[in-house]
A and B are shown apart, each in its own frame.
Chain A
Amino acid sequence: MILKRIIQKIIRKYFEEELLTPREIAKQRQYFIQANRVFLSLIAIAMAFIIGRLWYIQIHEYNYYCEQASKHRIRIIRLKPPRGKILDRYGRVIAGNRPRFNLCIIRQDASGHIPELLMKISKITGVPEYKLKQNLLEGEDTPIYKPIVLLSDIDWKVLAKIEARLYSMPGVTITVDSQRRYPLGSLAPHLIGYLREASSSDLKRFNDLDLGDLVGKRGVEREFQNLLAGKPGFKKIEVNAVDRFVKVLSIKPPIPGDNIYLTIDADLQRTAQDAFKGKMGAIVVLDPRNGQILAFYSSPGINLAWFSKKLTKKIVSFLYNKDTHPFMDRVVQGCYAPGSIFKIVVAAAGLQTGVITPSTIFYCPGYLRLGRRIFRCWDWRGHGKVDLYKALVQSCDVYFYHVGLLLGSDKIAEFAHYFGFGEKTDIDLSGEVKGLIPTPEWKLRRWQEKWQDGDTLNMAIGQGFVLVTPIQAARMISAVANPNGLVLKPQYIYKIKDWQGKVLDTFKPIVQWRLPVKQKFLKDIRRALEGVVEDKHGTGWRCKIKGLKICGKTGTAQVIKQAKRTRERKLEWKYRDHAWFVAYAPADNPKIAVAVLVEHGGHGGSAAAPIAKKIFQCWLKLQHPRPEIQSPMITSISNLKIAKLY
């Protein structure tokens, strides 16, 4: 009450209403009216400014702000297309797709209890928590409405456990993407190739690629990456201010990759791979009529299934083994001395140039003396009188020493090129090597030494500096087998179909050139090659099959010089000879040609021929229940487009 009184006193003192005269009141009223008017006009001006500003933002800058708005509310999500399949000539899947289940976390839905979730997941899967955290951190930059992969490719057991507990773990999802599947096992691994995550150079090479996508790293997967990959689709989504998904605006579905049918015959391929178990080397099976590759294997092979997961240390150390080089594709990258299979070339050269005839006879005492040096035949007992047939059947070295001396190194080199040695076969695989056909100039350049007759002798029996690849050997024998002597490009694409089954491309044989050897001479050689297998003295008798006439030629390529040689058994494995065998069948109407190389296998007849035999047996077996599928063949040679003419 006292307070109230004091306040009232103060109020009375300072705020007592004073009385004004009516004139004063009227004057003040006038002022207020004016002040009010001024204020109202100020208000009107202020509001006019606001309307002007509104006009500027809403009408003048309308497009700019609309663009700004859509920029931060629309996100584009890429939809990965399923990769095209790789199949064999009969449509059996070699490399297909399987779903891969990934354990993911979407931070948008898991916000707040991520550590808890990680603990739970760790308990269920047994993966340590720090690893999950690491994976989560790696995906930190992804928008929060996109899943981050914590564990990729989880197995069924874990999947079942997770699925059962999903309801209690909001934000955890299972995503599915596709992964390569090899239902027939790892067939023709070097030809098929494998997938890895795209590197920065891959991203530059292919525009449709995104980080984390799989890209073919070799073989068909690499060469046909563009076709197999398909076209990615897009999903436009709307997100809100905190990047949460709101709705889908539009979808452009992805286009699956094309399916590629290879000329490979899975049965033959399987047989070839089984035959090579425990051995190193390479095998190529061709159709001599059109150049289709029926089987293609480099041993030791690689298991393609390894590459769908992170490589373990054990696998990596196997892959990069310095002695076996599993990564090397021996078929196109392995260079080996051809050994006696080169005698086919020398024989053809001799006949064609006329230095010998089929009946020319040389005497083989088991060696040839040239100056002070002695060049031995492989059979120290000698072959006695030798003509062309006997020389090829028994693989007499002395005979070919003589022929080689008569021809000279240049002529041999020339014919070697005619048979496709020393040049790439142009098969559609990267990394193919040329091999080597030596010439005097080459020797001078490379070794600063003069070419000697001894070099010519070595060359004549496919030793010394001559190096060929298995694919070249296969093309050579299939050219010999081809009734017209056509050199065909080895090809592995049978047809390409898009995902709807429309055929985009089919196999067409490509003739590279024609052997410049008269048919009658080729016939003589073919007869001799038949003898190699069929004759009782033939070096390739181990390949003999009842009911199929096979022509072939063995080869044994020395790894070290003859002088240092001791008996085969005692020789350290890595100094043993490479074994070659090239063959085709049936003799009168060739449909299949094989080139086998066994690294350090010893004699061609004993190590390589049995492998070829298995191939022929398998092929023969397959002929009966299954009719041959239609493939383009070369029917007439009159209107051939020949790539290169000699």
Chain B
Amino acid sequence: MEEEIKFYLKKIDWLLLLFLSGILLAGFLTVKSVSIIEGNSLANKQLLWYTIGFVFIFILFFLKDYRLLRKVVWWFYAFCIILLILVMVVSHGKVHRWIHLGFISIQPSEFTKLAIILALSDFFSRRIKERYTLQDIVLVGCILAIPLWLIKKQPDLGTAVLIAIVSATIIFFARLNLKTIIIIVTSIIIAFPVFYHSMLPYQRQRLEAFLHPDKYKQQGGYHINESKIAVGTGGKWGQGFKHGIQVHLRFLPESHTDFAFATFAEEWGFWGCCLLIACYLGIFWRGLSISKEAKDRFGVFLAFGITALLFWQTFINMIMVLGWAPVVGIPLPLVSYGGSSALVTLTSIGILLNIHKCHMETSSCLLE
């Protein structure tokens, strides 16, 4: 028994877990601080989600081989689409993002992110080419089209764009031929005005506010302005835990979800932020290393896709908080409050750990 435990302990990517725990700590402290104004249950709920997330990590880690996932990839994909349709039907009001299940509410678009990465990884590992052509991209487009359309319909433009960006990253990673790249780039440029027109008024206002921050100080620019002030008052060492003025006087909107990073920055300052960013960098590094050493194409794509997803979420959220991007509803992974997001992110971390474990097994086999 002890042998067995030792055997497994060896195969855990401890560095990844270290960085992960750093981020989780930051997330917990942020939500704990905000829970003063938003209600005490917030921090407990977040802790509960972390726990459930760890159960998922555990399960996925002890999964014999991540390749088993390939059997359920498309079922999971279909399940997510059904959830997305369900959320349109079930929830009422203008915004259809959550399905309320009594004490919790789940956000199907979060699960869709993972589903699409799984689907794309499976796609690219079934259809192996040195360079992919337009025909393949059209097929990928077919996979993406339905969920993206449904998410945009919610409306959750931010997540849709995020998924598109992550998919694009994966596609480029899979290697395209030059002709296809040119076609894709030109079609994006042509499609942009159409895309702009299809945006809802509030989305357009946010974009406008981002482009002309002074003009829209009171309306759309309010979020970014307050967020920048919150970050700025943090200074070098921060205002201290539970002492963020901008947050606790409610100047900062969405202080525990989309703008959680601003909350963290105000309370922990520049050096705290550097530490947090270092943790994120560490996770990305580990993720890409795992992708490098994965023993098959599916593993490579899966690990790369997960890392890309985490990176883009982190990056977009941070530049939004720092006033370099329009306000979009993309949470900071594991720091922003949100059950679905935390669950999905921790699950993906679990997958990464599993890929690592399998790699260790094969390499050890090879050595033997």
Q: Do A and B bind each other?
A: yes
A residues with a Cβ closer than 8 A to B are 7, 11, 14-18, 20, 24, 28, 31-33, 35-37, 39-40, 43-44, 46-47, 50-51, 53-55, 57-59, 61-62, 64-66, 68-69, 72-73, 238-242, 246
Asked if B22 CB lies within 8 Å of chain A CBs, one says: no
Choose among A16, A43, A238, A239 the residue that contacts B284 (Cβ–Cβ < 8 A): A43
Among B88-96, B176-184, B265-273, the stretch in contact with A: B265-273
Tell me whether B251 and A72 are in contact (CB under 8 A).
yes
Q: Which residue of B lies closest to A34 (CB)?
A: B292
Choose among B130, B228, B231, B249 the residue that contacts A240 (Cβ–Cβ < 8 A): B249
Tell me whether A240 and B304 are in contact (CB under 8 A).
no
The contact size tier of chain B is 35 or more
Choose among A14, A35, A46, A58 the residue that contacts B139 (Cβ–Cβ < 8 A): A14
14 A–B contacts, CB within 8 A, in A order? A11-B74, A14-B127, A17-B126, A40-B284, A50-B277, A50-B318, A53-B324, A55-B270, A58-B273, A59-B270, A73-B245, A240-B250, A241-B226, A241-B250
Tell me whether A69 and B127 are in contact (CB under 8 A).
no
Tell me whether B304 and A36 are in contact (CB under 8 A).
yes
Tell me whether B251 and A241 are in contact (CB under 8 A).
yes
Tell me whether A54 and B231 are in contact (CB under 8 A).
yes
Q: Which residue of A lies closest to B228 (CB)?
A: A57
Tell me whether B270 and A15 are in contact (CB under 8 A).
no
Measured between beta carbons, the chain A residues less than 8 angstroms from B252 are 241
- Report, nearest first, the 8 A-B pairs whose CB atoms are least far apart: A65-B232, A15-B126, A240-B249, A241-B251, A241-B250, A58-B270, A36-B288, A53-B322
- Bitwise interface map of B from 127 to 139 toward A, beta carbon under 8 Å scored 1, else 0: 1101000000001
Among B98-106, B152-160, B208-216, B233-241, the stretch in contact with A: B233-241
Asked if B14 CB lies within 8 Å of chain A CBs, one says: no
Residue among A20, A31, A72 with the most chain B CB within 10 A?
A: A72
Measured between beta carbons, the chain B residues less than 8 angstroms from A73 are 245, 249, 251
Asked if B7 CB lies within 8 Å of chain A CBs, one says: no
Measured between beta carbons, the chain A residues less than 8 angstroms from B284 are 40, 43
Measured between beta carbons, the chain A residues less than 8 angstroms from B265 are 54, 58
Measured between beta carbons, the chain B residues less than 8 angstroms from A35 are 173, 175
Choose among A39, A58, A246 the residue that contacts B288 (Cβ–Cβ < 8 A): A39
Please measure, in the bound complex, the distance between the C-alpha atom of A41 and the C-alpha atom of B221, giving whole angstroms: 33
Asked if B26 CB lies within 8 Å of chain A CBs, one says: no
Shortest beta-carbon distance from A13 to chain B in Å: 11
Q: Known contacts being A15-B127, A33-B292, A242-B250, is A51 close to B274, with CB within 8 Å?
A: yes
Tell me whether B235 and A58 are in contact (CB under 8 A).
yes
Tell me whether A54 and B322 are in contact (CB under 8 A).
yes
Asked if B281 CB lies within 8 Å of chain A CBs, one says: yes
Asked if B319 CB lies within 8 Å of chain A CBs, one says: yes
Shortest beta-carbon distance from B232 to chain A in Å: 2
Tell me whether A17 and B128 are in contact (CB under 8 A).
yes
Tell me whether A57 and B315 are in contact (CB under 8 A).
no
Choose among B228, B281, B308 the residue that contacts A65 (Cβ–Cβ < 8 A): B228
Q: Which residue of B lies closest to A17 (CB)?
A: B126
From DSSP, what is the main secondary structure of chain B's interface residues?
Answer: helix
Please measure, in the bound complex, the distance between the C-alpha atom of A385 and the C-alpha atom of B270, giving whole angstroms: 111
Asked if B300 CB lies within 8 Å of chain A CBs, one says: yes
Asked if B123 CB lies within 8 Å of chain A CBs, one says: yes
Q: Which residue of A lies closest to B304 (CB)?
A: A36
Measured between beta carbons, the chain B residues less than 8 angstroms from A16 are 126
Tell me whether B285 and A57 are in contact (CB under 8 A).
no
Choose among A46, A53, A58, A68 the residue that contacts B236 (Cβ–Cβ < 8 A): A58
* Chain B stretch 238-283: residues in CB contact (< 8 A) with chain A: 245-246, 249-253, 265, 269-270, 273-274, 277, 280-281
- Bitwise interface map of B from 309 to 321 toward A, beta carbon under 8 Å scored 1, else 0: 0010001001100
A sample of 18 more A-B contacts (CB under 8 A), given A57-B228, A58-B235, A62-B232, is A31-B175, A33-B292, A39-B288, A43-B281, A46-B315, A47-B277, A50-B319, A51-B273, A51-B277, A54-B265, A54-B322, A58-B232, A59-B236, A61-B232, A68-B229, A73-B249, A73-B251, A242-B250
Asked if B291 CB lies within 8 Å of chain A CBs, one says: yes
B residues with a Cβ closer than 8 A to A are 74, 122-123, 125-128, 130, 139, 169, 173, 175, 226, 228-236, 245-246, 249-253, 265, 269-270, 273-274, 277, 280-281, 284-285, 288-289, 291-292, 297, 300, 304, 307-308, 311, 315, 318-319, 322-324
Measured between beta carbons, the chain A residues less than 8 angstroms from B253 are 241
Q: Known contacts being A31-B175, A36-B292, A69-B245, is A58 close to B231, with CB within 8 Å?
A: yes
Please measure, in the bound complex, the distance between the C-alpha atom of A181 and the C-alpha atom of B55, giving whole angstroms: 77
Measured between beta carbons, the chain B residues less than 8 angstroms from A32 are 291-292, 300, 304
Choose among B228, B245, B281, B304 the residue that contacts A44 (Cβ–Cβ < 8 A): B281
Measured between beta carbons, the chain A residues less than 8 angstroms from B236 are 58-59, 62
Tell me whether A246 and B249 are in contact (CB under 8 A).
yes
Measured between beta carbons, the chain A residues less than 8 angstroms from B274 are 51, 54
Please measure, in the bound complex, the distance between the C-alpha atom of A495 and the C-alpha atom of B286, giving whole angstroms: 86
Measured between beta carbons, the chain A residues less than 8 angstroms from B280 are 47
From DSSP, what is the main secondary structure of chain A's interface residues?
Answer: helix
Q: Which residue of B lies closest to A24 (CB)?
A: B130
Shortest beta-carbon distance from B253 to chain A in Å: 8
Q: Which residue of A lies closest to B238 (CB)?
A: A58
Tell me whether A66 and B233 are in contact (CB under 8 A).
yes
Shortest beta-carbon distance from B302 to chain A in Å: 12
Shortest beta-carbon distance from A221 to chain B in Å: 43
Shortest beta-carbon distance from A383 to chain B in Å: 91
Tell me whether B234 and A58 are in contact (CB under 8 A).
yes
Shortest beta-carbon distance from B256 to chain A in Å: 15
Shortest beta-carbon distance from B150 to chain A in Å: 20
Measured between beta carbons, the chain A residues less than 8 angstroms from B297 are 28
Q: Which residue of B lies closest to A239 (CB)?
A: B249
Measured between beta carbons, the chain B residues less than 8 angstroms from A39 are 169, 173, 288, 304, 307-308
Tell me whether B249 and A238 are in contact (CB under 8 A).
yes
Measured between beta carbons, the chain A residues less than 8 angstroms from B246 are 69
Measured between beta carbons, the chain B residues less than 8 angstroms from A62 are 232-233, 235-236
Q: Which residue of B lies closest to A60 (CB)?
A: B232
Please measure, in the bound complex, the distance between the C-alpha atom of A39 and the C-alpha atom of B173, giving whole angstroms: 9
Please measure, in the bound complex, the distance between the C-alpha atom of A40 and the C-alpha atom of B285, giving whole angstroms: 7
Shortest beta-carbon distance from B68 to chain A in Å: 15
Measured between beta carbons, the chain B residues less than 8 angstroms from A33 are 292
Choose among B125, B235, B270 the residue that contacts A17 (Cβ–Cβ < 8 A): B125
Q: Which residue of B lies closest to A61 (CB)?
A: B232
Shortest beta-carbon distance from A8 to chain B in Å: 10
Please measure, in the bound complex, the distance between the C-alpha atom of A40 and the C-alpha atom of B318, giving whole angstroms: 18
Measured between beta carbons, the chain A residues less than 8 angstroms from B273 are 51, 54, 58
Shortest beta-carbon distance from A508 to chain B in Å: 57
Measured between beta carbons, the chain B residues less than 8 angstroms from A47 are 277, 280-281, 315
Please measure, in the bound complex, the distance between the C-alpha atom of A18 and the C-alpha atom of B123, giving whole angstroms: 12
Please measure, in the bound complex, the distance between the C-alpha atom of A17 and the C-alpha atom of B296, giving whole angstroms: 12
Choose among A24, A44, A68, A242 the residue that contacts B232 (Cβ–Cβ < 8 A): A68
Tell me whether A20 and B128 are in contact (CB under 8 A).
yes
Measured between beta carbons, the chain A residues less than 8 angstroms from B315 are 46-47, 50
Tell me whether A69 and B233 are in contact (CB under 8 A).
yes
Q: Known contacts being A50-B322, A54-B322, is A240 close to B251, with CB within 8 Å?
A: yes
Please measure, in the bound complex, the distance between the C-alpha atom of A32 and the C-alpha atom of B318, giving whole angstroms: 28
Q: Which residue of B lies closest to A19 (CB)?
A: B128
Please measure, in the bound complex, the distance between the C-alpha atom of A15 and the C-alpha atom of B143, giving whole angstroms: 13
Please measure, in the bound complex, the distance between the C-alpha atom of A33 and the C-alpha atom of B297, giving whole angstroms: 12
Q: Which residue of B lies closest to A8 (CB)?
A: B74
Q: Which residue of A lies closest to B70 (CB)?
A: A17
Measured between beta carbons, the chain B residues less than 8 angstroms from A61 are 232
Measured between beta carbons, the chain B residues less than 8 angstroms from A37 are 288
Shortest beta-carbon distance from A74 to chain B in Å: 10
Tell me whether B229 and A69 are in contact (CB under 8 A).
yes
Q: Known contacts being A20-B128, A73-B245, A241-B250, is A64 close to B277, with CB within 8 Å?
A: no
Please measure, in the bound complex, the distance between the C-alpha atom of A240 and the C-alpha atom of B244, giving whole angstroms: 12
Please measure, in the bound complex, the distance between the C-alpha atom of A426 and the C-alpha atom of B135, giving whole angstroms: 105
Measured between beta carbons, the chain B residues less than 8 angstroms from A7 are 74
Please measure, in the bound complex, the distance between the C-alpha atom of A69 and the C-alpha atom of B236, giving whole angstroms: 16
Measured between beta carbons, the chain B residues less than 8 angstroms from A28 are 130, 297
Shortest beta-carbon distance from B227 to chain A in Å: 10
